Amino acid sequence: MITRMSQLFLRTLREDPADAEVPSHKLLVRAGYIRRAAPGVYSWLPLGLRTLRKLENVVRAEMDALGGQELLFPALLPREPFDTTGRWTEYGEELFRLQDRRGTDMLLGPTHEEMFAATVKDLYSSYKDFPVTLYQIQTKYRDEARPRAGILRGREFVMKDSYSFDMTDAGLEEAYAKHRAAYQRIFDSLNIDYVICKATSGAMGGSASEEFLAVSPTGEDTFVRATEGDYAANVEAVVTPPAAERDVSGLPEAVVHETPDAETIDTLVEWANGAGVTVDGRAVTAADTLKTMTVIVSEPGVEEDELVGVLIPGDRELDVKRLEASLEPAEFRLAEGEDFEKYPFLIKGYIGPKGLNDSGVRVLADPRVATGTSWITGADEKRRHVVGLVAGRDFTVDGHVEAAEVKEGDPAPEGQGTLTLARGIELGHIFQLGRKYTEAFDMQILDENGKRAVPTMGSYGIGVSRMMAVLAEQNHDDKGLKWPVAVAPYQVHVAVANKDAAAMEAGDTLVEELDAAGVEVLFDDRPKVSPGVKFKDAELLGMPFAVILGRAFADGKVELRIRGGETHEVAADEIVDKVIELVRG
Amino acid sequence: MITRMSQLFLRTLREDPADAEVPSHKLLVRAGYIRRAAPGVYSWLPLGLRTLRKLENVVRAEMDALGGQELLFPALLPREPFDTTGRWTEYGEELFRLQDRRGTDMLLGPTHEEMFAATVKDLYSSYKDFPVTLYQIQTKYRDEARPRAGILRGREFVMKDSYSFDMTDAGLEEAYAKHRAAYQRIFDSLNIDYVICKATSGAMGGSASEEFLAVSPTGEDTFVRATEGDYAANVEAVVTPPAAERDVSGLPEAVVHETPDAETIDTLVEWANGAGVTVDGRAVTAADTLKTMTVIVSEPGVEEDELVGVLIPGDRELDVKRLEASLEPAEFRLAEGEDFEKYPFLIKGYIGPKGLNDSGVRVLADPRVATGTSWITGADEKRRHVVGLVAGRDFTVDGHVEAAEVKEGDPAPEGQGTLTLARGIELGHIFQLGRKYTEAFDMQILDENGKRAVPTMGSYGIGVSRMMAVLAEQNHDDKGLKWPVAVAPYQVHVAVANKDAAAMEAGDTLVEELDAAGVEVLFDDRPKVSPGVKFKDAELLGMPFAVILGRAFADGKVELRIRGGETHEVAADEIVDKVIELVRG
């Protein structure tokens, strides 16, 4: 097909939009692919819609190939199924809620586990109907607290969500593996630089879960990668290797010291080294000290909140997101003023694990706090610390928790070197949900023995519109976008940059020939636009190949420009074959 | 492609759903095309989604052919542009309104005039950019008071909406004509029985407007057709031919009579004929009497409501919708108890136009009330009527109004015989909006003379999901659906109804061959389902052609069933060619 720029509904902008900070946002707006309608809500202009549809088709082909069946649920949903799973409230402010004219509660679907589970329950009743994988490519709604970066994190966005239903755990694992492989094919085919991260399951529930993160400095998610090996994980999912346990016999006794000026970890270390305190014969560092934090935990369904102690080595900050993920589904907050009044045994600034043990407070510790490890920590008295307090001898740990920050250089698991920190954009997420949703809907299926059994479920998402932003992030230069051939709005950009009538005629013939060969052509036929502006637009719009009928046309030559690559001079009568060859890859 | 029914996510139902009244609703649910998610909100199951997408593509092809450019606006929209045109409030309860987490008002788009006008204004500034036609195929939302009949009138539905922008009225007329022709091609290609009705523009504003109504007894819209000629109109748009004016000189004088028992039109006619009253020398009928109704009219932007008299011939009822359309944008209600207290000169049951004239009340009359016509009507005194009250002599008409019902047999315009009444389903609507929206957004475009001019706009919609219901309404029998080849989910249904392993093998080969020839096949390969159930399902699902490998297969023969037509016995080795021939039409 041929689209003529003289007709195309497009205005390119030379200036970045005022609200744009990241390259994909700036370029997609400047090149007229998208246009802001409201915060986090964008219109798809003709070029943008073409690329979006192509991306949908790349995803659709892989979903069909793994046996997925496409259907389409409404975006406007009733409240009831979300009450069944509790997500009407659990989803919090991110859910767009509304009422219809009768005052009935409704919502705009952020994801569709409930609808799929309820529908499979309605239609299917026998193990013979399983396994089944269903998917949709649909507009979804989430009222993000901070919509940002154009279509990178929108409030209305296009998502592919699929759901597998299996009678056995092995079946779920197979469906999960098929999706994982399909996602790899999708992202690989588009040359996206991404990692597969072990992830926590968050509000979705379920067990195994991995995130596909596009590597990008503009990403909102921090992840870690091993320096040697392919380990990668969401920071929330990083598991701290437990310290080796030591025999406590023969370790020096704990001694309480007056520490009048040691109110921070730094001043405590300074005091210890000034006072000649050593650990295993060496000088004290922050890693030898232990922070004892107190948090108030609410378990869902438990009325009374619980005071809990959290121990982390003094050289690390508390990572609130990691602690959240570790305690989920319970929620927590840091203990504050009135909590200290309620629990007078908490001596603020000098809380230690021993005092918590003595008062019957549950103590959760970083895995580095293993039996036999010795610590400098609060002595549960004002202006006093204790040196040589040994876990498993002087205090008891009731369980482990991932609450400490992950640092560059931390050891990677399984001897894969150390961890490096990087930023990424979540492209996809695959979950082995298990039976959380099927049980909530009481999906009873007759198994081979005529007994009732509950199927197990997987849920798999790809942010299709976000993928477009990711491609723009990873494929651009300071002049504009650089699309992969497979999803460029058009495969080739033809521009006539020569005022000669013969050049325009030749351009017409060229685009007709390309069209006849099945090539999608964007034709810059604008008669009164200067060559300079045409070149700039071609670079900004970012088709992978451009053919320029310029000055050399008089000598029977045209320019073939590879976007972001070299420019070749090609004989005018060879250009059609050359372009077809490039487009077909 | 081949879809195997042993895998397909489908359960056909033998019973009609309890809430379904019309055939399309019953059959689309029973055949597993759609499934109710909430009142007026439906999910598209695999078969339904295939037909929906094909319908979208039929529409898309015609929109592209007329030069339309596809883009896609959000469904979640900001309030502001709808404040600019006043539709935030004017739309009333049909608009889904919601607030985001910051309390900002938003809405779900019922139609997108505002967004398109605002966007064209932003991108374009010169007459050289015009004309432009833009369209989208999008999910829309309207909180219908009475969602009904499945996808026939849903609250979430798929619509194609296009918008034309022209610098001249002639340009708008051309864009309108192009859309009109494209709509005809679309509906003709699907063999839809429809009429093009002159329509009123309603809340959209603007001048010329036509509705494409599918003829169907289940339709909600009543329209009229001429018995001779192609005139058709929405009942609201029917224009009553004015009665011929007569010279008033020489007409008998008006005489007031005591009419103690004439409280209805029937008893008034009875009284008149009993009293020997005649009109032009013949007996009195209801058509000689005049009903004087009183309504309270509110003009937008006018604080005080107005009492208005509405005159209609006594043989006709008031048609509220026609009066609404006629008074628009003003709204009205019938005068009631307290209004009669406020206007004591209104003698209930005996109001006549003369009394209204005397009290300075504006009088709007049916066009049959022409100068020189003579009427029997209320005498503005209890139990009295006046005979021979002549319009233009005894009372004054301030204007004409279409308030009387349209009746079967009324004269059609331009000598096209008489009118017949029928019911229809609105498939499409085309509007010459004019400058209502472009002026609201102050779209100033530089014209050829360097002066600012406001473009004129057209708006054109097709209910794509509703079109699927219309096709089901017009193409079914008591056994099931009957899809046109172009939009059937699959072109051919192949069923193996023979337990012989050779038959199943032959079925496999057949579908592979059809697939290789590009035919879309639904293959009923279910091993344990009886032939009877397979036949019933094939009829219910409604593919245009079915091939049955049944008993005669042993003799090298298969059955070719034309849905709703004959069954042929075809040699097994000829069936592929035969099907390809049928499918290619």
Residues A390-433 pLDDT 10s: 999 999 999 999 999 999 999 888 888 999 999 999 999 999 99
Q: Do A76 and B155 touch (CB under 8 A)?
A: yes
Q: What is the pLDDT averaged over residues A298-304? A: 84
DSSP A217: T
Kindly report the CATH number assigned to the domain that includes residue B386.
3.90.960.10
Measured from the Cβ of residue B513, the count of other Cβ atoms closer than 10 Å reads 16
Residue B92 lies in a domain: yes
| Cα–Cα distance, B258 to B267 (Å, whole number) | 13
Residue A320 lies in a domain: yes
Domain endpoint, select from A350, A385, A400: A400
B2 — contact with chain A (CB < 8 Å)?
no
Residue A27 lies in a domain: yes
Q: Tell me if A48 sits within 8 A of A481, measured CB to CB.
A: no
| Cα–Cα distance, A487 to A503 (Å, whole number) | 29
Domain endpoint, select from B365, B400, B435: B400
Residue B427 lies in a domain: yes
DSSP A273: H
Q: Do B42 and A67 touch (CB under 8 A)?
A: no
Kindly report the CATH number assigned to the domain that includes residue A50.
3.30.930.10
Which phi and psi (to 5°) does residue A338 adopt? Answer: -70, -25
Which secondary-structure segment (H or E) carries A283? strand A282-283
pLDDT at A207: 67
B162 lies in the same domain as B293: no
Query: Which residues in chain A are contacts of B44 at CB distance < 8 A?
Result: 71-73
Pick from A60, A83, A98 the residue to mutate for testing the B interface (most B CBs within 10 Å): A98
State how far residue B263 is from chain A, nearest Cα, in angstroms. Answer: 40
B107 lies in the same domain as B196: yes
Which secondary-structure segment (H or E) carries B215? strand B209-215
State how far residue A111 is from chain B, nearest Cα, in angstroms. Answer: 14
Q: Is the pLDDT of residue A200 over 90?
A: no
Q: Read off the pLDDT band of A442 (50, 70, 90).
A: very high
B381 lies in the same domain as B498: no
Buried b (16+ CB within 10 A) or exposed e, B376-410: bbbbbeeebbbbbbbbbbbbebeebbbbbbbeeeb
Cis status of the peptide bond prior to A527, with omega within 30 of 0: no
pLDDT in tens, B353-380: 999 999 999 999 999 999 999 999 999 9
Q: Is the pLDDT of residue B203 over 70?
A: no
A265 lies in the same domain as A373: yes
Which phi and psi (to 5°) does residue B143 adopt? Answer: -85, 75
A91 closest CA partner among A78, A76, A109: A109
Which residues touch A240 (CB under 8 Å, ≥6 apart)? A366, A367, A368, A402, A404, A410
DSSP B411: B
pLDDT in tens, B59-89: 999 999 999 999 999 999 999 999 999 999 8
B177 lies in the same domain as B43: yes
What tokens does B273 get? Answer: 């004929």
Q: Do B73 and A43 touch (CB under 8 A)?
A: yes
Name the residue in chain A with its Cα closest to that of B41. A74
Q: Tell me if B293 sits within 8 A of B334, measured CB to CB.
A: yes
Which secondary-structure segment (H or E) carries B44? strand B41-44
The separation between CA A88 and the C-alpha centre of its own chain, rounded to angstroms, equals: 23
B188 lies in the same domain as B281: no
Identity of the amino acid at A514 = L
Residue A454 lies in a domain: yes
Q: Is the pLDDT of residue A204 over 80?
A: no
- H helices present in B94-215, as ranges: 113-123, 169-189
Burial classification of residue A79, based on how many CB atoms lie within 10 Å of its CB (0-12 exposed, 13-18 middle, 19 or more buried)? middle
Q: Do A71 and B132 touch (CB under 8 A)?
A: no
Residue A60 lies in a domain: yes
A307 closest CA partner among A289, A292, A320: A292
Identity of the amino acid at A494 = V
> What percent of chain A is modeled with pLDDT above 90?
75
Which secondary-structure segment (H or E) carries A106? strand A105-108
Q: Do B75 and A75 touch (CB under 8 A)?
A: yes
* Residues A512, A515, A517, A519, CA torsion sign: positive
Q: Is the pLDDT of residue B479 over 70?
A: yes
Query: Which residues in chain B are contacts of A94 at CB distance < 8 A?
Result: 101
Q: Read off the pLDDT band of A234 (50, 70, 90).
A: confident
Measured CA angle at B334 (ends B333, B336), to 5 deg: 115
Query: Which residues in chain B are contacts of A141 at CB distance < 8 A?
Result: 76
Q: Do B37 and A71 touch (CB under 8 A)?
A: no
Q: Do B123 and A73 touch (CB under 8 A)?
A: no
What tokens does B157 get? Answer: 């539905």
Residue B259 lies in a domain: yes
Q: Tell me if B418 sits within 8 A of B412, measured CB to CB.
A: yes
pLDDT in tens, B113-165: 999 999 999 999 999 999 999 999 999 999 998 888 889 999 999 999 999 99
| Cα–Cα distance, B272 to B385 (Å, whole number) | 10
**Per the confidence metrics, is the pTM higher than 0.95?**
no
Pairing of strands A492-496, A521-524: parallel
β-bridge mates for residue B432, sequence order: B458
State how far residue A172 is from chain B, nearest Cα, in angstroms. Answer: 17
Q: Tell me if A422 sits within 8 A of A222, measured CB to CB.
A: yes
A260 lies in the same domain as A329: yes
Residue B482 lies in a domain: no
Sheet holding A362-365, edge to edge: A331-334, A290-298, A306-313, A362-365, A399-400
A157 lies in the same domain as A289: no
Sheet holding B76-78, edge to edge: B76-78, B105-108, B96-99
Domain count, chain B: 3
Q: What is the mean pLDDT of chain A?
A: 92
Alpha-carbon distances, residue A339 vs A55, A199, A294, A307, A325 (angstroms): 53, 33, 10, 9, 23
| Cα–Cα distance, A8 to A47 (Å, whole number) | 9
State how far residue B467 is from chain A, nearest Cα, in angstroms. Answer: 17
Q: Tell me if B510 sits within 8 A of B545, measured CB to CB.
A: no
ipTM: 0.86
B176 lies in the same domain as B316: no
| Cα–Cα distance, A495 to A511 (Å, whole number) | 10
Query: Which residues in chain A are contacts of B70 at CB distance < 8 A?
Result: 46, 49
B67 — contact with chain A (CB < 8 Å)?
yes
Q: Is the pLDDT of residue A226 over 60?
A: yes
pLDDT at B437: 94
pLDDT at B493: 97
A287 lies in the same domain as A145: no
B98 closest CB neighbour out of A69, A72, A98: A98
A70 — contact with chain B (CB < 8 Å)?
yes
Cis status of the peptide bond prior to B131, with omega within 30 of 0: yes
B71 closest CB neighbour out of A44, A141, A156: A44
Q: Which of residues 548-577 of A touch B (CB under 8 A)?
A: none
B468 lies in the same domain as B497: no
Kindly report the CATH number assigned to the domain that includes residue A550.
3.40.50.800
Range of the domain at A87: 19-192+434-473
Q: Tell me if B226 sits within 8 A of B238, measured CB to CB.
A: no
B35 — contact with chain A (CB < 8 Å)?
yes
Q: Read off the pLDDT band of B229 (50, 70, 90).
A: confident
Q: What is the pLDDT averaged over residues A539-549? A: 96
Q: Is the pLDDT of residue B428 over 90?
A: yes
Q: Tell me if A121 sits within 8 A of A455, measured CB to CB.
A: no
Q: Tell me if B335 sits within 8 A of B298, measured CB to CB.
A: no
Q: What is the mean pLDDT of chain B?
A: 92
Query: Which residues in chain A are contacts of B73 at CB distance < 8 A?
Result: 37, 43-44
Query: Which residues in chain B are contacts of A49 at CB distance < 8 A?
Result: 70-72
Q: Is the pLDDT of residue B206 over 80?
A: no
Query: Which residues in chain A are contacts of B74 at CB distance < 8 A?
Result: 37-38, 41-43, 156
pLDDT at B222: 87
Q: Is the pLDDT of residue A80 over 90?
A: yes
Which secondary-structure segment (H or E) carries A221? strand A221-226
B349 lies in the same domain as B385: yes
A225 closest CA partner among A213, A207, A208: A213
Q: Which of residues 171-210 of B touch A (CB under 8 A)?
A: none
| Cα–Cα distance, A134 to B46 (Å, whole number) | 9
Q: Which of residues 73-132 of A touch B (CB under 8 A)?
A: 73-78, 93-94, 96-98, 100-101, 106, 108, 115, 119, 122-124, 132
Q: Read off the pLDDT band of B552 (50, 70, 90).
A: confident
DSSP A405: P
Name the residue in chain A with its Cα closest to that of B47. A71
